[in-house]
Chains A and B, each alone.
Chain A
Amino acid sequence: MRIIVTLVIWMLPQLVLAQAWEDRRVFENESAEQTLRIISSTDTALFAPIIEDFLSKNTGVSVEYLVNGTAKIDQIFRADPDKFDLLISSAMDLQLKTANDGLALRLSDVAHPSWAQWRQSLFAFTSEPAAIVVNKAAFADHQLPRSRQELIEVLRARPDVFRGRVGTYDVRQSGLGYLFATQDARASETFWRLMEVMGALDIRLYCCSGDMIDDLSDGTIAVAYNVLGSYASVRVENEDQIEVILPSDFPTTMMRTALVSNDAPHPKAATEFVQHLIRLQSDHPKGVFLLPSLKTQDSDVDRATIPLEPALMTFLDNLKRRRFIEEWENAVIQK
């Protein structure tokens, strides 16, 4: 991974932004007249088929796909909104704030249900629950936890097994981690107790989902909390090693969203890409759309989907964030 990043930087020193991208890939179309710049938090592996499908239908467009963490891409995008066409992220709160701040283009001709879009400028195209992902090896002859409460009990029962082998997002670095943590904290006090228990077990903190899943699959950690289950299943080669558990008490579900920059160099192609995304998520062709489609929010379980509303900006408030991080640090990083 590092090598690729270094390579990219080395090969393209003329790149406008000397950003340290997690990944960068250019999908070329021979007859392309324009290059769509997509800045995203989604792994290239998951998005490549979508982009290739798009290119096959829009031969005049090439795509440059730039990947980084949710918090990072938010910063990068805000710094130069005119250098990117599309912003795709799983951090709904950051995305909503970007749209609220008027940085997203309103696409009047994209048809999408009102709960899955905001202000006709932010469009959700996946429903992905946060899961407890465990390495089965650690639970060889033990019951798998089904809820946060059970996870607390499991961790307390065998502290020796789990010490230093539990992981979650470092909410200070990961936008998605922060979103999940705040939503969890909003839903139940159990979250804080879980954090305290995990903190007592020398929790490992990750900036990005990739590293966390890598560690989980090689057994460095046994339990990862608030990981995207769907993501884990795609990333891990040998799926038998891990088990994705959707907490039965309240599965926090995130919707991955896309927005077109207000100052997009290619707004038309970008709009087409959004339409393409929405079409794919509803058709869900195998091998092309690897992410889970949007779930209608009819059933009780799916109500746990974080709604796209301005209230998402609550925890982005400086004071709120400062206080939340403080509390979180108190719980997790125990001196």
Chain B
Amino acid sequence: MSSDLSTSVSLRNRLVLILIGGAAILALLLFFAIRNYATQVAQQGQDNIISASVTSILDAAAIRDGIVEVDFPYASFSMLSTAFDDQIFYAIYQDDIFLSGYERLAIARVAARETDFKTVDYLGSQVRVVTASRTLIGKDKRTQVRVALAQTQDALSGTLTQISRNAAVFGASFFALATLLSFWATSNTIGQLNRLTNSVTRRGPQDLSPFHKPVPSEMLPLVTSLNSLMSRLDHSLKQSEDFIAEAAHRVRTPLATVRSYAEATLQRVDKEENRQAMRSMVRAIDESSRAAGQLLDHAMITFRADHLELQDVDLSALVHDLVERLKPIAEMKDLTLRLHSDTQVPYKGDAILLQNAVRNLLDNALKYSPSEGVIDIQVTAKPNIEIRVYDSGKGFPKDELDTLATRFKRGLNAEGTIGSGLGLTIAMDVAVAHKGMLRLSNKAEGGACASLLL
């Protein structure tokens, strides 16, 4: 069934994809956010230390005897020591005159009390330069001392690599966790659907009762419409069965009336061609009546098969009753009915259906075997529970053996006998309803053999 339906993307895959995709995006965002933040913090840290060093150098600047001296403390550079042994470069300017340090270090013009931060290239490596200035007031003039201090960024990038690594681990584990969670959430959600599917599949083919088990609120509409669909289906099925039964019943009664009139008329008509016509009429009526009867039975069987009522039945007794009831008809045709039965064959099944099936088999045997024949009926419990009817007639037409049990199918040998082609269908439906089967065969010495294997 499912193969006929075209499927769009699986709900599970879609859910998993959305959740995992979301987690991946979040993890990446997280990673970059952490890294970005860490970069800022680390850069801030380096800036602070360099600024402190610059301040300590500027603090040491003084004018002595009209000459600018910058007797900065050992700690100025000492505080710049890093685990990665970063290089430091500096330059001290008085106004625009180079005083000391690295002459080629670019120095920003900064106003007093201003600090300039820059990342530049110096001697082939990236350095962070902090420039600040201080105004010194001498006896007769003011002078500005500017200090630029640069440090390479090995420690910074080392820290960043480490933080990046940690952030990556953090992001990855977040992603892994989210993925696990999304798989769990998805399978949990889909599980609800699967449970419903299972309970639909597990149902018998004719079980159209509504679902009562609790379902998640999101699935309530689906289950409700499923229930209503099934109740409508159930309703219309019952209606059509009722309709067939009703129709058959309604046809049968007037047919019986018509037949009795025709029969009466036949007695009174003398002319041979009229009698012939009347006989055909009676025959047609019989045919119709039989068909109506079989249709009614068939409808009944279809209905009961849906709601099989299993009860303890003794098959031996059941068949015995039937044989007894049919004996008068058999005697009329000079046929002998022989019942071979174990004393008791207990079985759990629907007695009415089983009766109907066996009656149809017996009916066929009576109908299709020639007079003075013998019909054997066997009821066995071992090795299988089996009811077998075989006669001494010509047997089933060989070519049609496989199709005789289909609806309205009559054999070539059935010409001239009244029948509707539903007898074997009924027998088979009953067998199938009891999880058994109907087997048709011909005996070697001739004669049809129909057996109900239950």
Q: Which of B74, B81, B124 contacts A314 (CB 8 A)?
A: B74
Q: How far is the CB of B58 from chain A (nearest CB, A)?
A: 13
Interface residues of A in 74-133 (CB under 8 A from B): 100-102, 114, 118-120
Q: How far is the CB of A23 from chain B (nearest CB, A)?
A: 32
Whole-angstrom distance between the alpha carbons of A119 and B81 in the complex?
Answer: 11
Q: How far is the CB of B26 from chain A (nearest CB, A)?
A: 38
CB distance A319 to B78 under 8 Å?
Answer: no
Interface residues of A in 308-335 (CB under 8 A from B): 309-314, 317-320, 323
CB distance B100 to A319 under 8 Å?
Answer: yes
Q: How far is the CB of B83 from chain A (nearest CB, A)?
A: 7
Whether A310 contacts B77 in the complex (CB less than 8 A), given A119-B85, A318-B99, A319-B99, comes out as: yes
Q: How far is the CB of A135 from chain B (nearest CB, A)?
A: 34
Q: How far is the CB of A217 from chain B (nearest CB, A)?
A: 35
Interface residues of B in 62-80 (CB under 8 A from A): 69-78, 80
> Nearest chain-B residue to A312 (Cβ)?
B77
Return chain B residues, CB-CB under 8 Å to A310: 77-78, 80-81, 86-88
Q: How far is the CB of A235 from chain B (nearest CB, A)?
A: 32
> Nearest chain-B residue to A103 (Cβ)?
B123
Return chain B residues, CB-CB under 8 Å to A323: 69, 71
Return chain A residues, CB-CB under 8 Å to B83: 114
Return chain B residues, CB-CB under 8 Å to A309: 77-78, 81
Whole-angstrom distance between the alpha carbons of A61 and B86 in the complex?
Answer: 33
Return chain A residues, CB-CB under 8 Å to B87: 100, 102, 119, 310
Q: Verify if B21 is at the interface (C-beta below 8 Å from A).
A: no
Total A-B residue contacts, Cβ distance less than 8 Å: 60
Q: How far is the CB of A179 from chain B (nearest CB, A)?
A: 13
Q: Verify if B328 is at the interface (C-beta below 8 Å from A).
A: no
Question: How many chain B residues touch A (Cβ–Cβ < 8 Å)?
Answer: 25
Q: Verify if A186 is at the interface (C-beta below 8 Å from B).
A: yes
Whether A313 contacts B77 in the complex (CB less than 8 A), given A102-B123, A319-B100, comes out as: yes
Return chain B residues, CB-CB under 8 Å to A319: 69-71, 92, 99-100
Return chain A residues, CB-CB under 8 Å to B99: 318-319
> Nearest chain-A residue to B102 (Cβ)?
A101
Whole-angstrom distance between the alpha carbons of A100 and B87 in the complex?
Answer: 5
CB distance A314 to B100 under 8 Å?
Answer: no
CB distance B101 to A317 under 8 Å?
Answer: yes
Whole-angstrom distance between the alpha carbons of A274 and B72 in the complex?
Answer: 35
Interface residues of A in 169-217 (CB under 8 A from B): 186
Whole-angstrom distance between the alpha carbons of A310 and B76 in the complex?
Answer: 10
Q: Which of B71, B77, B92, B100 contacts A311 (CB 8 A)?
A: B77
Return chain B residues, CB-CB under 8 Å to A120: 85
Whether A311 contacts B74 in the complex (CB less than 8 A), given A102-B123, A317-B101, A319-B69, comes out as: yes
CB distance B72 to A317 under 8 Å?
Answer: yes
Return chain B residues, CB-CB under 8 Å to A317: 70, 72, 92, 100-101
> Nearest chain-A residue to B70 (Cβ)?
A319
Whole-angstrom distance between the alpha carbons of A317 and B103 in the complex?
Answer: 12
Q: How far is the CB of A309 from chain B (nearest CB, A)?
A: 4
> Nearest chain-A residue to B151 (Cβ)?
A310
> Nearest chain-A residue to B84 (Cβ)?
A119
Return chain B residues, CB-CB under 8 Å to A100: 87-89
Whole-angstrom distance between the alpha carbons of A242 and B80 in the complex?
Answer: 42
Looking at B74, B81, B85, B101, the one whose CB has the most chain A CB atoms below 10 A away is: B85
Looking at A100, A119, A317, A318, the one whose CB has the most chain B CB atoms below 10 A away is: A317
> Nearest chain-A residue to B101 (Cβ)?
A317
Whole-angstrom distance between the alpha carbons of A310 and B164 in the complex?
Answer: 28
CB distance B75 to A311 under 8 Å?
Answer: yes
CB distance B71 to A320 under 8 Å?
Answer: yes
Q: How far is the CB of A190 from chain B (nearest CB, A)?
A: 17
Return chain B residues, CB-CB under 8 Å to A119: 85, 87
Whether A311 contacts B85 in the complex (CB less than 8 A), given A102-B123, A319-B70, A323-B69, comes out as: no
Return chain B residues, CB-CB under 8 Å to A186: 74
CB distance B85 to A118 under 8 Å?
Answer: yes
Whole-angstrom distance between the alpha carbons of A149 and B75 in the complex?
Answer: 26
CB distance B72 to A314 under 8 Å?
Answer: yes
Looking at A101, A102, A186, A311, the one whose CB has the most chain B CB atoms below 10 A away is: A311
Return chain B residues, CB-CB under 8 Å to A102: 87, 123-125
Return chain B residues, CB-CB under 8 Å to A114: 83
The interface bits of chain A over 289-310 (1 if a CB of B lies within 8 angstroms of the residue's CB, else 0) are 0000000000000000000011
Whole-angstrom distance between the alpha carbons of A319 and B83 in the complex?
Answer: 28
CB distance B101 to A311 under 8 Å?
Answer: no
Q: How far is the CB of B381 from chain A (nearest CB, A)?
A: 93
Whole-angstrom distance between the alpha carbons of A124 and B414 in the complex?
Answer: 119
Return chain A residues, CB-CB under 8 Å to B92: 317, 319
Whole-angstrom distance between the alpha carbons of A2 and B153 in the complex?
Answer: 48
Q: Which of B72, B78, B88, B125 contacts A320 (CB 8 A)?
A: B72
CB distance B70 to A314 under 8 Å?
Answer: no
Whole-angstrom distance between the alpha carbons of A100 and B101 in the complex?
Answer: 12
Q: How far is the CB of A208 from chain B (nearest CB, A)?
A: 27
The interface bits of chain B over 97-125 (1 if a CB of A lies within 8 angstroms of the residue's CB, else 0) are 00111000000000000000000000111
Return chain A residues, CB-CB under 8 Å to B70: 317, 319-320
CB distance A314 to B77 under 8 Å?
Answer: yes
Q: How far is the CB of B59 from chain A (nearest CB, A)?
A: 14
Return chain B residues, CB-CB under 8 Å to A320: 70-72, 100
> Nearest chain-B residue to A313 (Cβ)?
B77
Return chain A residues, CB-CB under 8 Å to B78: 309-311, 314
Return chain B residues, CB-CB under 8 Å to A314: 72-74, 76-78
> Nearest chain-A residue to B154 (Cβ)?
A119
Q: How far is the CB of A114 from chain B (nearest CB, A)?
A: 7
Interface residues of B in 403-418 (CB under 8 A from A): none
CB distance B69 to A311 under 8 Å?
Answer: no
Whole-angstrom distance between the alpha carbons of A186 and B77 in the complex?
Answer: 14
Between-chain CB contacts (< 8 Å), 9 pairs: A102-B123, A186-B74, A309-B77, A311-B76, A313-B88, A317-B70, A317-B100, A318-B101, A319-B100
Nearest 3 Cβ contacts at the A-B interface: A311-B78, A119-B85, A311-B77
**A314-B74, A318-B101, A323-B71 provided; 18 other pairs, C-beta below 8 A?**
A100-B89, A101-B123, A102-B125, A118-B85, A119-B87, A309-B77, A309-B81, A310-B80, A310-B86, A311-B74, A311-B76, A314-B72, A314-B77, A317-B72, A317-B100, A318-B99, A319-B69, A320-B72
